[in-house]
Amino acid sequence: MILSNSMSTKLNLNNTSWNLKLLFDNLDQPIDKLLEEEREELQTEAKKFVQKWENKTDYLKNPSILKEALNDYENWRRNWGSSGRQGFYLALSLALDQNNSELKAKESKINEISVDIENQIQFFTHRLSRVDSAKQQEFLSSVELKEYRHFLEILFNSSKHLLSEAEEKILNLKHFTSHTKWVQMLEGFLSKEERKIVMEDGTSQIQNFSQIINLTSHKNKSIRDQAAAAFNDILAKYVEVAENEINAVLYNKKVNDTLRKFHRPDQSRHLTDDVDTDMVDQLVESVANRFEVARKFYELKAKLFGVSKLAYHERNVEYGDLDMNFDWSKAATLVYDTFMSLDQTFADIFEMFLNQGLIDVFPKKGKDSGAFCASVRSNLPIYVMLNHTGRLNDVRTLAHEMGHAINFEMMRHENELNYDCSLFLAESCSTFMEDFVLQKIIQDASEEQKLAIMMEKLNNDISTIFRQIAFYRFETDLHLTFKDTGYLSHEQIGTIFTKHMIDYMGDFVSQDEGSQNWWIYVGHFRNFFYVYSYAGGLLVSKYLQSQVKKDKSFIDQVKQYYSTGLSKSPKQTLEDIGVKVDKSFWNKGLDEVEQLLNEATFLAKKLGKI
């Protein structure tokens, strides 16, 4: 397949590992010394804020004084925060080397300091959130406080779920041992696992956990079957560990929700994301009501592969012979060209990431097996992690994570209290870029290649929309069942998981032995109800794409959307660019998925494939 002529300049594709010197430019010095120096600065700066405001109450009464206090708070968040540069540095370093005990010890120490600092400073937002309703309205209508208005709205909305200052400190202190350490333990165990796989050339090669996951979707059946057996073996090895881990974090959440008077297990997620519960409920219901689209997709895929049912691990196997190996150079160039065709700003940001070493590209032993974009403060670099193996899916992942990165870069104008975005908005930005990359690939494709790419796009849409909503329903079922029983065996969890997978997969995917344990490696289940944002984000993204295709100048509204941060709610941000999210809205995006499925089915019949 020949892609259209590249618009790219000569890109620097040699920086394939993170340049962490952008966080500490003197990393040649002993790291312990650097960390100790910054820890002292962190504690000093926090103390300055506490000494100035802790014993004052006038900022709770006067908008002008509150403006001064918020400016100080914003300045502290922007330049220091509770963990400084070192918290970010250690988190990134551990993502590259998950079983490094020295790094874990350093992270544990900074986490203790961070919790202590947050406990010292939380009086500020805690007391502010509890001002009476009349004062809340005065602050929200104040012109002086305009730049902090939505920050205050979120604070006031959360106040009914806050505990006393002393109780909040206790919850902060226990989170690391009651949640984080459990999750890190399981992730560490999984990441160090390796297995031998006989490759196409007949050689037996050792593959790490991340590589094994990728190989479960390999084009060669023997390789993917070996990888699935290895993957299931690893999950079975740790299933009892995972059982204890998930029960521990579920219990911790149940305690927190009870104390905070949350009536639904997903309510805290909606509040944190600044989204309406009704809006999420409408999304979940709309998608679940159309699970038949996903089932028909798997029926088509099974027919194309000439089998009565797909094996569970074969759901994501690429269909067709694309004759494309997306090595790093090809993938990066393709993504750059796609960004350039949309807007110069997008391409320039990607080029900057390549030049500065902000993308860690290839899988390594001990490295986190996933992909992510990490940003913590507006004045620090943004880092992207990949595990690039040259598949079409890896190109999509690059575009997806760079969508997040571009989103964060374009928000740098926001004050620090608004420098972030909800998961819902974030996922619509990332999938926007992802889909345009696939559309660029398909431009020069033959009909056979077009069918293969359409199937790949459908596979992505089904996984992002229908699978994630099935995950959401699994999480809901899991939390509610745990609330009733107090403990769930891994067999019970597997039964609940399988039930929800069958709901969206239907009769053309086999629920093979071992598949009941695949909940174990899904990290999002430990972040609680995160997954709705993938589905909602993609459905919003489809609307934005359709508008850009109709009128290229609409890209300016898309850029506005990318740049908003937390200064407005996601719903308001969308309304500002002409998108009304109501009950009928979700079906518009679902109609597009079904239309693409119909087109792929028609083309498959035309080519005599089914």
The H-assigned helical ranges of 130-179 are 133-141, 149-158, 165-175
Distance CA 578, CA 329 (A): 38
Strand order in the sheet with 359-360: 359-360, 383-385, 372-374
Read off the DSSP letter of residue 380: S
Q: How far apart are the first and last CA of the chain?
A: 24
Distance CA 481, CA 472 (A): 14
Read off the DSSP letter of residue 261: T
What is the b/e burial string over 575-593, where b = at least 16 CB atoms within 10 angstroms of the residue's CB? eebebebeeebbeebbebb
Strand, coil or helix: 205: strand
Residues 2 and 444: beta-carbon distance below 8 Å: yes
Distance CA 336, CA 352 (A): 11
Residue 439 has a pLDDT of 86
Distance CA 183, CA 553 (A): 45
Residue 323 has a pLDDT of 66
Residues 590/596/597/598 CA torsion (nearest 10 deg): 110
Instruction: Name the pairing type of β-strands 372-374 and 204-208.
Output: unpaired
- Residue by residue, DSSP assigns 512-571 as -TTGGGGGGG-GGGGT-STTHHHHHHHHHHHHHHHHHHH-GGGHHHHHHHHH-GGGS-HH
**What is the mean pLDDT for each group of 10 consecutive residues in the chain (610 residues)?**
48 93 80 84 95 97 98 97 93 93 90 91 94 96 97 92 86 90 94 95 94 93 97 98 97 95 95 91 96 98 97 94 83 96 97 97 91 96 96 90 97 96 85 90 85 92 96 98 96 98 98 97 93 92 90 96 92 90 86 94 97
Residues 56/61/63/64 CA torsion (nearest 10 deg): -40
Read off the DSSP letter of residue 418: G
Q: Which CATH homologous superfamily contains domain 21-185?
A: Oligopeptidase f, N-terminal domain (1.20.140.70)
Residue 168 has a pLDDT of 85
Read off the DSSP letter of residue 359: E
Domain range summary for the chain, segments of one domain joined by +: 21-185
* CA distance to 28, 260, 414, 500, per residue, from 158 (Å): 44, 10, 22, 32
Distance CA 445, CA 447 (A): 6
**Which residue from 326, 393, 383 is spatially nearest to 354, judged by alpha carbons?**
383
* CA distance to 347, 423, 466, 530, 547, per residue, from 426 (Å): 19, 5, 18, 12, 19
Q: What sign does the CA torsion over 136, 137, 139, 140 have? A: positive
Distance CA 505, CA 298 (A): 7
Distance CA 575, CA 545 (A): 16
Read off the DSSP letter of residue 37: H
> At 198, which helix (H) or strand (E)?
strand 194-198
Q: How far is CA 427 from the centre of its chain?
A: 7
Residues 304 and 609: beta-carbon distance below 8 Å: yes
Q: What pTM value is reported for the model?
A: 0.81
